[in-house]
Chains A and B, each alone.
Chain A
Amino acid sequence: MAKEKGERKEEFTTASGIVLKRVYAPEDIKDLDYARDLGSPGEYPYTRGPYPSMYRAYPWMIRQVMGYGTPESSVERWKALMERGGQAGYKQEPATTLLFDMPTNYCYDSDNPIAFYQVGRVGVAVDHYKDIVDLMKDFPMDKGFTNLVVHGSPPILTAMYIAAAQELGYPLDKLRGSSKNDPYQSQICERIQLLPTKAELRLCLDLLEYCAKYMPAWNPISLEAYGYHSSGSNAIQEVAFGLATAMAYIEGGISRGLDVDVFAPRISFFFSSGIDFLEEVAKFRAARRIWTKVMKERFGAKNPRSLLFRTYVCTLPPDYTAQQPYINIVRGTIQAMAAILGGIQAMSVTPYDEVLAIPTLDAHTMSIRAQQILVEESGIGNTVDPLGGSYCIEWLTNEIEDKVREYFKKIESWGNDGTVLSGLTAGVEKGLVQSEINEAVIKRQRAIEGGERVMVGVNKYTVEEEISPQIFRVDPVYRKEKIEKLKKFKEERDKQEVSRALKELAQVCRTNENVMPELIEAAKKRVTLEEAMNVFRDVFGVPEFWKGRRMTK
């Protein structure tokens, strides 16, 4: 049929497989009700944006993902990015997103032989609270914004952050930032699970509860939906699993007796923005509307701030190619435009060389400049939700919402009591979600190899001779420094205080009490990341995966 019209393909689909019509018209959105389904920006159901003026008031935060080597080398990079206009909050205050090295994510100290080859390689190495002091001492922890992206044990790292803040003289209630405190995502996407699911969940909710009581400006759960998309599934699955996991944490918080309107306003999101431009724009709009309705209808939230879907975005690396790497700058810019037209709050445009190594400063600069051109030259943010009302975008937004809601039902059906919490926990424990992701990535690869999904430089428009940009390498001297400093730190601390703190931590773990106060106390007594995790490992046990492995000294 299509070919009769002289079209290139039988069927045009989005990256997640939604079949697009040749053209959209009023009848495609004839049931759309402005007040019910869209609302003005800053009004229910927030489809058009969480705030009335959006980028006319404040541009999105340019917050590149960063961190490598030691706290000192990471601070150096942080300052360099700031000089270029990156790492800036809504009011140009310092804002950053910190990535940690793999040993930190797996809760091994830098001096553990298992960590040796990876200390500081792909993120900053943190072993104890003094490392956070070194990271933060030149930055305002009350006026700035620090996003801690840690997969292994966010409560331990956040406790160290709190201990450092107190030493630097900041009151708890002034700390601004977020913790990627999302054990489902860690288990499903990062494939990092250090403790049994139930224990991970308890610690996650301990942090949530603690922040709800004492840290009103901190986002205790920065929910990472990004990982679902970047590990190979599609945009619909990203929204579905992302929002479902957030619902599970909300159910968890409520089951602890917390008032949803106290903690829900501080749940924030971390999404990706992929290359399929129209679908991505619709994705963010749909996510906002679904979240608002879920919060209001399912959880009975009354505080308008509980209804807001606020998100940080990283542009999607699997869309990038190692071949002809400079063309990734173009991809990043397209992805960024989709995110902006989708109404996001903060962004990192993935540097073009991230498929080759951790980024150079030049590659980061390009990502920052792309965003500055978008804000200051392109006019993209000069009016709010310019694509709102487009027949196509509104139809796609509806389609994505429908498909996400079908996923919610599927997830609920995995459990035994109709809650998402029970469904998701069963789905993760049985590996059902992991299998969905694995299948999606295999399907994606087949589509690339079969040529149905074009990747310029990989399966089309390839070139023989390839330009290889300068690669960033982490100087091994940082590792040496880090290990030596850690040894000194361990020698100089009061060992009795350390063992007392560890005992107290173990004790509280065995009760139903919140572990955070003891964890913060332990951090102050110079307990290291691995030592704190070993208490958890002893008390809660380790998942099957780790049994019999020679991963410790």
Chain B
Amino acid sequence: MQRKPRILMANIGLDGHEMGAIVVSTALRDAGMEVIYLGLCQTPENIVETAIQEDVDVVGISSMSGVHDEVMPIIVNLLKEKGVNIPIIIGGIIPKEDIPQLKQVGVKGVFSPGTPTKQIIEFIQSIVEE
């Protein structure tokens, strides 16, 4: 039997804006995925360690305070250093012009405010199947 996709959801930086992450986590659960909700104020180290320990298929990051440009490369590199290949996606307040750069450093998917959760679900399903 194929196991359910396992997703780690985490909010980066010192920030309490967690509604986006809660909405997405709930939608993923409703779609039959297993969500490990790590919650607020996570450091890159914490996220990567948990992703490995929990053996997740995808890491989902929520960023609301503009730190994506500096912090995402750190998370991607930490994953690389540990020799694991877990796809990483991000949602939140991210200017359009930052998307190419995020993709270039290895972020698989970038979701702006207003993205239907269905689109995120389908995206995760497609990368898990790869």
Contact = CB atoms under 8 A, between A and B. Distances in A.
B1 interface: no
B14 A118 contact: yes
Interface string B71-113: 1000000000000000000000101110000000000000011
B117 A445 contact: yes
B115 to A, nearest CB: 9
B15, B18, B19 — most chain A CB neighbours (10 Å): B19
B14 A103 contact: yes
A357 B95 contact: yes
Interface in A210-250: 231-232
Contacts of A190: 16
A467 to B, nearest CB: 10
Interface string A420-443: 000000000000000001100110
A438 B22 contact: yes
In which size bucket is the chain B interface?
Answer: 20 to 34
B125 interface: no
Interface in B1-55: 13-19, 22-23, 26-27, 40-41, 43, 45-46
B95 to A, nearest CB: 5
Contact of A121 (B23, B65, B97, B116): B65
Dominant SS at the A interface?
loop
Given A191-B40, A358-B66, A550 B13 contact: no
B114 A357 contact: no
Contacts, number: 85
Given A102-B15, A121-B66, A322-B114, A468 B23 contact: no
Contact of A122 (B46, B66, B112, B118): B66
A199 interface: no
Given A356-B95, A442-B26, A468-B96, A115 B114 contact: no
Contact of B113 (A321, A441, A549, A551): A321
23 contacts: A106-B41, A108-B14, A115-B14, A117-B13, A117-B71, A118-B14, A118-B67, A189-B16, A190-B16, A191-B16, A231-B19, A322-B112, A323-B112, A355-B113, A442-B23, A445-B23, A445-B117, A449-B116, A457-B114, A459-B116, A468-B96, A549-B41, A550-B45
- Which 3 pairs, one residue from A and one from B, show the smallest C-beta to C-beta distance? A191-B16, A458-B114, A102-B14
Interface of A: 102-103, 105-106, 108, 114-115, 117-118, 121-122, 151, 189-192, 231-232, 321-323, 355-358, 437-438, 441-442, 445, 449, 455, 457-459, 466, 468, 471, 474, 545, 549-551
Given A190-B16, A449-B116, A457-B114, 9 more contacts: A106-B41, A114-B43, A118-B14, A232-B19, A356-B96, A455-B114, A459-B116, A471-B95, A550-B46
